[in-house]
Structure 1
Amino acid sequence: MTEPGTYSYWFDIENDQGFRPPSPDRYEITAVLDALPEVFLEKPDTDLQVTPDAQIPLVIAIRDDLGIASALIRYQKSSREESLSRALRTDRPTETFPLGFQSQQPATDVIINENWNLAELSLKEGDRIIFRAEATDFFQPIISGETESGVKTDPHTGSSISRVLTIVSPDYKSNELVNRHAQLLEELTRVLKDQRLLNTEIKDVQHQLERVGQARTQELDTIKQVEMDQKRVASQLASPRTGLEPRAKELLQELEWNRIQDPGMQQRLSELSTELSRLNQELFPQIQEQMTQARKKLQSSVDQAPESKDDQKPAAGKQKSTDQAPAKKPDRDTEPLEALTRAEQGQRQVIDRLGTMLQSLSQWQKTRDLVSELDEQIAQQSEIQEQTTELAKRTITRSFSNLNLQDQADLEKLASRQERQSDQFKSFRDLLDNIQAESKANSQTDQFEKQAALDFLRKQSLPEKMRQTADRLKQNQVGQAIQEQQQIQESMQKLKDIFENQAEESPDQLIKKLKQSEQELSQLKQKQQDLLQKLKTASQDTNKSELKKELEQLAKQEQALKQQLDQLENELQKLSLHRASDSVRRASQRLSKVNDSLSQGQTGQAEQEMRESLDDLEQAQRELASRRQELEETLAFEEFTKLESEIESLIERQQAVITETNRLETVRKERGRWSRGQLKSLRQLAEAERDLQNQTQTFVDKMAAAPVFGLAIRKVRDQLEIAVIRLEERLTDEETLAAETGAQDRLKEILAILKYRKSTPNQESGDGSPSQQQMPTDQIPLVAQLRLLKLLQEELLQQTTRFNESVDQQKELTPEQQELRKRLSQDQADLAELSQELMSLFTGSQSDETEPLPETIP
């Protein structure tokens, strides 16, 4: 039998008289395939960098269909000078050592644990070990000639995938573990932030239940989301493969495997893994149980009593005071509130213990941690500001007592979040104070780096301003609150800029350094081209003595060039430009081969290596140019997005002012006079419009580099000034509405111009490939400014036409008409001056191929 399957045999018997059985008994025999053993190298599960004296734990899983006979590790050594592809060749000699596998009877499934002591191999830094696990079964090989077909069979040997161990110095490995430890702390900080956010969400739902008495579907959705996110947070700490707890234990084991003595790190990692284990066993199950109970009870409550829309929105066209019909609070359901309270208490315990843990490890916090923390604070403040702006559409110009119950609750929740943001930012300031105190004892450099940020914080008093804003929210002074929130946001961004200037390269600085690196790389490439040309010329020299001298001189120059490339590689690594750095390193390595070839007189080989090094340098140039262009486009996109968002917010708030002006004018006409409550609403409306006017002034300052947009914003500001004056004079007539609407229309025009520039598809070159033009780094592209200039000119033309139609040529102009003519003349002069300025700039930018001028401006 040579193939697996079912076969049969029988006995063919014949007696002395020649008779045979008519149907002899047949017997079946089944031949099964003896498969190769399956071998899995479960540990290590990846290539490793280890010290020369490391003890590597091995875990090998072996399976065989019939039985396992033996197992071993097969390995080969390679030096740093040898390429990895050559070292992985299977025809190289190998060494083996047996694995401790013993079995009284054939086993089909075994797990082998072994410690491999590398100290016995006398390894040095830079060496590599390529190894795999092998196993054999009890299959007996057949040599040629023992079968009818003469087929030779080999022993059954199964192999695992190969792993590579790279030998590094103990100091190098220690630094690697330190960096991974710092990464654990960074992730733990993010987990704490996530847990704080979840706690904030639960507090908001608690406030809804305490204040309103029942939950809406959006509160139920919030609890569902928090329940899922809480599981995710627990998984981030305890997941068997990616959790922080097992990874902390893994770092402890690697310290032991590599025989690195670092008692401080061992203690910190041990405390970290122990505390995380306690959290996973004691608190997270309790929190999850209470969250599930609260969710089920809220679901039942929402299903049985759907929320009333009457409490959320007043009837259209009517404005009723709560003094006449006070809001009625529904019956309270205490069961979900109790479950949420217990879950919230458990979350606070997690937050406190994680905070204590991180505080004890504060020496590991670096400046990038402060920047990350500040980024999170900025994002949270921005979210609060967005929610305030959205809520202001419903509550602006009305007193807190005149709001319905839901709007009051939403304002109180926003105020509460702003207060918590104040507390968190105060904690951030205290953390910076603590780090600064430590730096005073250790490093004058650290003291200098943090002092600017501390001075800025003390001068701005941001936590106090946040709490003041929270007080305004409680009184429904949303206009002033939004303005203060904008100032807070700008101050926080300035603080971030201070840190970025000290800690990491800002995009502008990185772009500048990229350009310098591109210039330096271009010069080095030119030097290599010159040396290549000299080599070609020297190769034609028939005088061997002269040729040898020339080659020696070229070798010296190549060595000097290699040093410059190595220095550039280090600079690119510091800028995290790894791809470009790799290309420069390859070029530098080729220069070493060039020197070897030149010393041996192999000019042809040296020329080939020099050509390949030029290819590597060209690749590095492409990588640097690509990264620079990416940063430039990112900066431009961020500026556009920020500007669009701010203008959209202004338009929405102005619409709320227009709506309220219309309402007040309608009520005034019906009553024939102003009531005391209406006068109060009118004052609040004027304050809201004044806030918008002040914010437009900040836009004027931001648009200094875009004079046309600055002019348009100034016109918006002037229209708002007219509206404010008339509102303060208790005028809500058509002229006031015209000023308010005119300001809003101008803002919509500006926004349309910005969105048009953003939505315009990229033009392509004539050959069908994308054009090579880059997005300009200016805040407002010149084409967009020209497009807005065209609109302004059209509006001015319409105003001039209306003025001419209103003037009686036979009569003298009134003082008002003279003032209007003067203003129109000045506006035309401003537009003419801007037109000349932009066209000169546009001509320059077009010559630089940054923004081609379209044939028409739509």
Structure 2
Amino acid sequence: NFAIDRDGRGFHVEAADADRWRVERDGVFFFELTDAEGIVGESEERWYVEAVADQPPTVSLDQPVDHLLATAAATVPLRVLVKDDLAVRRVTLRLHRSVAAEGEFETIPLYDAGESPPDSAEGGERGESRVIEHELELSKLSGLTPGAWLELQVAAEDFVPQSAESVARRISIITPDELEDRLAQRPATILGRLAEALRLEQDARTQTRAVAIQLEEAGRLAAVEVDQLQSAELTQRQVAQLLADQPDSVRALIAALLNELENNRVDSPEVQRRMQELSAAIETIASRHLPEIQGGLTTTLKAARSALQTHGDGRWPGSVAESLGPVGARQDEVIAMLEQLLGQLSQWDSYRRFAREVSRLRREQDEVRERTNQLRLDTLAQTRRDLEPDQRAELRRLVEQQSELARRLDRMLGRMETMRDELQTSDPLAAATLADALDTARRAAVSGQMRESSRELEANRIGQATELQEQLDQDLGELIDVLSNRREHELDRIARQLDDAAGELKSLQGRQRDIAGQMEAAGQNADEQERQRELQRLTREQQKLEEETQRLRRRLERLQANRTGESLSRAGQNMQQAGSAAEQGDANAAADSARQAERDLEDANQQLAQQRQQAKQDLLFEQLARLEHAVEGLVARQQSALDESRRLEDLRDGDGMLTRAQNASVQLLAEEQRTLAAEVRGLADELASAEAFSVGLQGAEREMLRAASRLDRGETNETTQRYQQSALARLKQVQEALGDGAAPRDADDNPQQGESQQPGNNAPPADTVRALSELKLIKLMQLEINRRTTELERLRNRTGELDDEQLRELRDLADEQGQLAELLDRLVAETAAAQQSDLSDELEMVPDLPLELD
């Protein structure tokens, strides 16, 4: 019952009566009215109430998106999204320090709505969604030192109260130097993404050019050319993803780098300026050029499919070619822009990337050679006028592609020349490698031969073009060899010559020790004549030894072992004094000088040992860096293969089917996955002496072959993607371990600078560096085994049993587990026997990762 208003025409509910209207279950309500005469009436309208349970709030820590590393002076931006079906009451940031006890944390209030819910939370489906941004200034948190960490978690509660927490994010505190090293690697990663985007754009342009030529020469497209157009569209999408449309795109990486510079208060105006300019250029490409290309390809593809059904083998309407023309022009613009950006960022490039680019050119040149040879067989004794339209189209495609390869090689040689000049001072050996490569390319006139081959093809002199292409294969192979191995060979030569010099120096030490002893003995001889004869003989031996010492000094100085050379120079001077004293009959003075020469040789021996250690370290770093760059390229290509599988899976219709063009793309993807597996196998064979790396790469190869086998059957589903993801994870493990072993040295720290740096005093021996890299990789591989074993166990629990493919995978994991145990035993035995350094101290460099070999 409710109190009636004074006028008798209405009623109201007092706030104190609100609890009587609390909804606890579903139901219907209506109003019953009784007038002054006691007559009862009901409202015609009924209200239905559905009771919905009040759910706890949800809270998401959107930024930072992952664990991060920062200096103690950094500002960490936080972005929190909190939702509640009624109203949010309070949001709090919890901070748990590495030195704090379990469950002990500090709190920072982020939002407080007070004790009563706002009027806007009066039920219904409105609810509340609140975005909270906060800047966490680490400098205001005392006690944060390098090595410490801070765990962030956001808690939210509603007015019940019910509460919820976000996932935790960890901030690890590092030194400014460590941050600088990390930031120095980012531009190179961005450069790698740009280079991959350029490669894909060039591939897409090759495909659209081939289709355009077919339309011009034959006036129509066959089904295979329509599929090629579809492939170009797919490749174009990958370009967009690499540049702007995925979390690790170039645009995202640039934004992350700029944010990290700002958040850590790093003053690097040059890097910021270059990255901002690059970001603006990428934005132009992504927002203007790529949509136009994509739209044009979609329009052309629709028109081509329609014409294929309507006109078949007849001549097609000109609208198909007209819609494709602007696409090619825009693709050329994007290629030019990406090439220009790569040239502007040469300061962050590595000369090792050129070896990969030339290898890719060689593969494409080999494809041109095979197609040229096939065309030669198909058109023997035919003039150009006698060729079928499809043959003329193929000939034109070969002419265009051969010219394009020549253009790309010229661009690459220009970048190579720029980098050679930049490296003259900082890395003379790398500059010498590039100089040798440029000389090789120019002496062989490689780009000139490509253009000549294009002219021969255009004139329908296919036999002459084939001969030129055979020579090009050899010349490009020689260029690859120079780029891949020249610096490594030079470092290996220096190391071997230093080892030879060490053996010779040891012999000189022994002979000098004997001469000094004999001079002392001669001084004790009472027979004057016999003493003089002995001293004369020793004079000749000392002079001979001095000449050999001076020759060794000159050799070592040519190897930039300057401090060793100085010690040998002093030894030579003391040898000369010992010889002169012996010649004059002064045995005691001769013996003293001879002993001093012996001590000088010992000093030289110690300095040479340091130089040899540095040379071995330089060689190891070069080998690891070369392999790291090779793995970097494999990682990028495997990521692209995984992305393509995901994309194709999303394209399946309601029945799980793909179009013919899409199925063709699946088969091309299977071929690419198998090619990647073969390249990984080749790299594993090359690393046979570093077993951990070899085992890691073999695991990646195994997963790639499993994925390729499923792709052969047209399967792009979750299982295929899981194999691809596992292969990618294994490659990244090898990349991470190689990256630690091949840490870049300072710009002025190169093997041409002699011993002034006192090599070996601050760096672990090369054997220790290799062992540390292998140990880290073993730990990372163990984590992957643990993860996959757990995943297979979940599958077994869910389905009751594993299928044959999963059982094979389980057996492979068991085999790999045994290999890791054997590898660990070997590394422990080797390091225990080395006795060169306290490896237990060096192991502190390895991240604290669980290692379970049960």
TM-score by length of 2: 0.51
Query: Cα–Cα, structure 1 residues 334 and 30, in superposed 2: closer, same or farther, change >3 Å?
Result: closer
- Checking the alignment, whether the CA contact within 8 Å between 1:6 and 1:30 is kept in structure 2 is yes
Question: Which residue number corresponds to residue 223 of structure 2?
Answer: 217
1:243 to 235, 246, 249: 249
Question: Which residue number corresponds to residue 606 of structure 1?
Answer: none
Letter in 2 for 1:118: L
Structure 1, residues 216-238: CA drift from partner, whole Å, max 9, x if none?
A: 33332222222232233123222
Residue 304 (structure 2) pairs with residue 127 (structure 1): no
Question: Which residue number corresponds to residue 579 of structure 1?
Answer: 777
Secondary structure of the 2:253 match is helix
How far 1:369 sits from its partner (Å)? 1.8
Distance, in Å, in 1 between the alignment partners of 2:49 and 2:219 is: 80
Question: Which residue number corresponds to residue 389 of structure 2?
Answer: 405
- Checking the alignment, whether the CA contact within 8 Å between 2:217 and 2:392 is kept in structure 1 is no
Query: Cα–Cα, structure 1 residues 441 and 332, in superposed 2: closer, same or farther, change >3 Å?
Result: farther
Query: Cα–Cα, structure 1 residues 439 and 233, in superposed 2: closer, same or farther, change >3 Å?
Result: same
1:92 to 100, 103, 107: 103
Distance, in Å, in 1 between the alignment partners of 2:234 and 2:781 is: 45
- Checking the alignment, whether the CA contact within 8 Å between 2:684 and 2:694 is kept in structure 1 is no
Question: Which residue number corresponds to residue 279 of structure 1?
Answer: 285
User: For the pair shown, which has the larger CA radius of gyration, 1 or 2?
Assistant: 1
How far 1:253 sits from its partner (Å)? 1.1
- Checking the alignment, whether the CA contact within 8 Å between 1:37 and 1:136 is kept in structure 2 is yes
- Checking the alignment, whether the CA contact within 8 Å between 1:74 and 1:96 is kept in structure 2 is yes
- Checking the alignment, whether the CA contact within 8 Å between 1:208 and 1:409 is kept in structure 2 is yes
Query: Cα–Cα, structure 1 residues 185 and 356, in superposed 2: closer, same or farther, change >3 Å?
Result: same
How far 1:295 sits from its partner (Å)? 2.6
How far 1:381 sits from its partner (Å)? 1.2
Question: Which residue number corresponds to residue 518 of structure 2?
Answer: none
1:105-254 equivalences under 5 Å are: 108-122=128-142, 123-139=144-160, 156-239=162-245, 241-254=247-260
Distance, in Å, in 2 between the alignment partners of 1:116 and 1:473 is: 66
Query: Cα–Cα, structure 1 residues 76 and 455, in superposed 2: closer, same or farther, change >3 Å?
Result: same
Distance, in Å, in 1 between the alignment partners of 2:775 and 2:105 is: 39
Query: Cα–Cα, structure 1 residues 193 and 8, in superposed 2: closer, same or farther, change >3 Å?
Result: closer
Distance, in Å, in 1 between the alignment partners of 2:267 and 2:146 is: 19
How far 1:263 sits from its partner (Å)? 1.1
Distance, in Å, in 2 between the alignment partners of 1:581 and 1:289 is: 48
Query: Cα–Cα, structure 1 residues 515 and 456, in superposed 2: closer, same or farther, change >3 Å?
Result: farther
How far 1:442 sits from its partner (Å)? 4.8
Structure 1, residues 612-665: CA drift from partner, whole Å, max 9, x if none?
A: xxxxxx989747869x9xxxxxxxxxxxxxxxxxxxxxxxxxxxxxxxxxxxxx
How far 1:38 sits from its partner (Å)? 1.7
- Checking the alignment, whether the CA contact within 8 Å between 2:67 and 2:170 is kept in structure 1 is yes
Question: Which residue number corresponds to residue 688 of structure 2?
Answer: 511
Query: Cα–Cα, structure 1 residues 271 and 574, in superposed 2: closer, same or farther, change >3 Å?
Result: farther
Residue 98 (structure 2) pairs with residue 78 (structure 1): yes
Residue 61 (structure 2) pairs with residue 38 (structure 1): no
Structure 1, residues 27-76: CA drift from partner, whole Å, max 9, x if none?
A: 99987644322221111121111111111111111122332211111121
Distance, in Å, in 2 between the alignment partners of 1:48 and 1:368 is: 29
Query: Cα–Cα, structure 1 residues 496 and 67, in superposed 2: closer, same or farther, change >3 Å?
Result: same
Secondary structure of the 2:85 match is strand
Structure 1, residues 652-708: CA drift from partner, whole Å, max 9, x if none?
A: xxxxxxxxxxxxxxxxxxxxxxxxxxxxxxxxxxxxxxxxxxxxxxxxxxxxxxxxx
Distance, in Å, in 1 between the alignment partners of 2:241 and 2:255 is: 16
Question: Which residue number corresponds to residue 47 of structure 1?
Answer: 67
Q: Give the length in aligned residue pairs.
A: 486
Distance, in Å, in 2 between the alignment partners of 1:38 and 1:94 is: 21
Secondary structure of the 1:68 match is coil
Residue 309 (structure 2) pairs with residue 298 (structure 1): no
Distance, in Å, in 2 between the alignment partners of 1:568 and 1:439 is: 25
How far 1:428 sits from its partner (Å)? 1.8
Question: Which residue number corresponds to residue 493 of structure 2?
Answer: none
Query: Cα–Cα, structure 1 residues 113 and 219, in superposed 2: closer, same or farther, change >3 Å?
Result: same
Query: Cα–Cα, structure 1 residues 63 and 173, in superposed 2: closer, same or farther, change >3 Å?
Result: same
RMSD: 4.0
- Checking the alignment, whether the CA contact within 8 Å between 1:4 and 1:30 is kept in structure 2 is no
Query: Cα–Cα, structure 1 residues 379 and 567, in superposed 2: closer, same or farther, change >3 Å?
Result: same
- Checking the alignment, whether the CA contact within 8 Å between 1:6 and 1:29 is kept in structure 2 is yes
Residue 354 (structure 2) pairs with residue 370 (structure 1): yes
Secondary structure of the 1:66 match is coil
Distance, in Å, in 2 between the alignment partners of 1:566 and 1:621 is: 27
Distance, in Å, in 1 between the alignment partners of 2:146 and 2:238 is: 41
Question: Which residue number corresponds to residue 418 of structure 2?
Answer: 434
Distance, in Å, in 1 between the alignment partners of 2:196 and 2:78 is: 33
Query: Cα–Cα, structure 1 residues 223 and 513, in superposed 2: closer, same or farther, change >3 Å?
Result: closer
Structure 1, residues 321-353: CA drift from partner, whole Å, max 9, x if none?
A: xxxxxxxxxx67433222222111111111122
Distance, in Å, in 1 between the alignment partners of 2:197 and 2:170 is: 34
Question: Which residue number corresponds to residue 360 of structure 1?
Answer: 344
Distance, in Å, in 1 between the alignment partners of 2:271 and 2:821 is: 38
Query: Cα–Cα, structure 1 residues 574 and 67, in superposed 2: closer, same or farther, change >3 Å?
Result: same
- Checking the alignment, whether the CA contact within 8 Å between 2:200 and 2:238 is kept in structure 1 is no
Query: Cα–Cα, structure 1 residues 372 and 565, in superposed 2: closer, same or farther, change >3 Å?
Result: closer
Distance, in Å, in 2 between the alignment partners of 1:365 and 1:247 is: 16
Distance, in Å, in 2 between the alignment partners of 1:574 and 1:202 is: 49
Distance, in Å, in 1 between the alignment partners of 2:405 and 2:416 is: 17
Distance, in Å, in 2 between the alignment partners of 1:236 and 1:247 is: 10
- Checking the alignment, whether the CA contact within 8 Å between 2:72 and 2:139 is kept in structure 1 is yes
1:489-528 equivalences under 5 Å are: 489-502=473-486, 510-512=687-689
- Checking the alignment, whether the CA contact within 8 Å between 1:199 and 1:348 is kept in structure 2 is yes
- Checking the alignment, whether the CA contact within 8 Å between 1:583 and 1:619 is kept in structure 2 is no
- Checking the alignment, whether the CA contact within 8 Å between 2:684 and 2:693 is kept in structure 1 is no
Secondary structure of the 2:688 match is helix
Secondary structure of the 1:124 match is coil
Letter in 1 for 2:235: D
Secondary structure of the 1:511 match is coil
Gaps of 5+ in 1: 10-26, 80-88, 141-155, 309-330, 519-562, 586-617, 629-858
Distance, in Å, in 2 between the alignment partners of 1:259 and 1:58 is: 17
Question: Which residue number corresponds to residue 821 of structure 1?
Answer: none
Distance, in Å, in 2 between the alignment partners of 1:515 and 1:108 is: 53
Distance, in Å, in 1 between the alignment partners of 2:207 and 2:362 is: 18
Distance, in Å, in 1 between the alignment partners of 2:73 and 2:822 is: 40
Distance, in Å, in 2 between the alignment partners of 1:515 and 1:355 is: 37
Distance, in Å, in 1 between the alignment partners of 2:269 and 2:392 is: 56
Same amino acid, percent of matched pairs: 26
Distance, in Å, in 1 between the alignment partners of 2:164 and 2:692 is: 55
Letter in 1 for 2:687: L
Question: Which residue number corresponds to residue 449 of structure 1?
Answer: 433
Distance, in Å, in 1 between the alignment partners of 2:372 and 2:340 is: 33
Structure 1, residues 791-845: CA drift from partner, whole Å, max 9, x if none?
A: xxxxxxxxxxxxxxxxxxxxxxxxxxxxxxxxxxxxxxxxxxxxxxxxxxxxxxx
Distance, in Å, in 2 between the alignment partners of 1:570 and 1:28 is: 76
Question: Which residue number corresponds to residue 752 of structure 1?
Answer: none
- Checking the alignment, whether the CA contact within 8 Å between 1:368 and 1:503 is kept in structure 2 is no
How far 1:583 sits from its partner (Å)? 9.7
Query: Cα–Cα, structure 1 residues 375 and 101, in superposed 2: closer, same or farther, change >3 Å?
Result: farther
